[in-house]
């Protein structure tokens, strides 16, 4: 009984890691494709939809001690296609995987 519980936890942990990785990759690839499409479109509503992005996060902060320097920062850039790709990944996993 104890071995089965450990195996089940390992499988659940792998599933969560796989889903989170798929979501992150979906957002990155969707954002990249959105930027590429936005550069080739003529000026107009479609170009604005694909090329407009929102940056959310903490800008780079530097903490300088005498012997050690830390640099912190995390910025997430979200555009239309990255959100659409994340939604498609969620729908895919709800339909086929979960």
Place of tokens 């895919």: 92
Rounded CA separation 8/72 (Å): 36
What confidence score (pLDDT) does residue 21 get?
Answer: 92
pLDDT in tens, 24-51: 999 999 999 999 998 898 999 998 988 8
What confidence score (pLDDT) does residue 86 get?
Answer: 93
> Considering the chain, what is the average pLDDT of its residues?
87
- Helix, strand and coil percent figures for the chain, each rounded to 5: 65, 25, 10
Tell me the mean pLDDT in the region 77-92. 92
Domain boundaries, the chain: 2-97
Torsion, CA 84, CA 88, CA 90, CA 94, rounded to 10: 150
What confidence score (pLDDT) does residue 2 get?
Answer: 60
């Amino acid at each position: 009984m104890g071995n089965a519980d450990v195996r089940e936890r390992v499988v659940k942990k792998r599933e969560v890691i796989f889903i989170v990785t798929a979501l992150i990759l979906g957002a990155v690839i969707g954002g990249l494709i959105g930027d590429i499409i936005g550069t080739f479109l003529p000026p107009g509503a479609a170009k604005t939809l694909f090329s407009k992005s929102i940056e959310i996060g903490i800008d780079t902060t530097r903490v300088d001690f005498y012997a050690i320097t830390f640099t912190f920062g995390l910025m997430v850039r979200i555009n239309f296609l990255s959100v659409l790709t994340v939604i498609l990944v969620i729908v895919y996993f709800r339909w086929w995987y979960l």
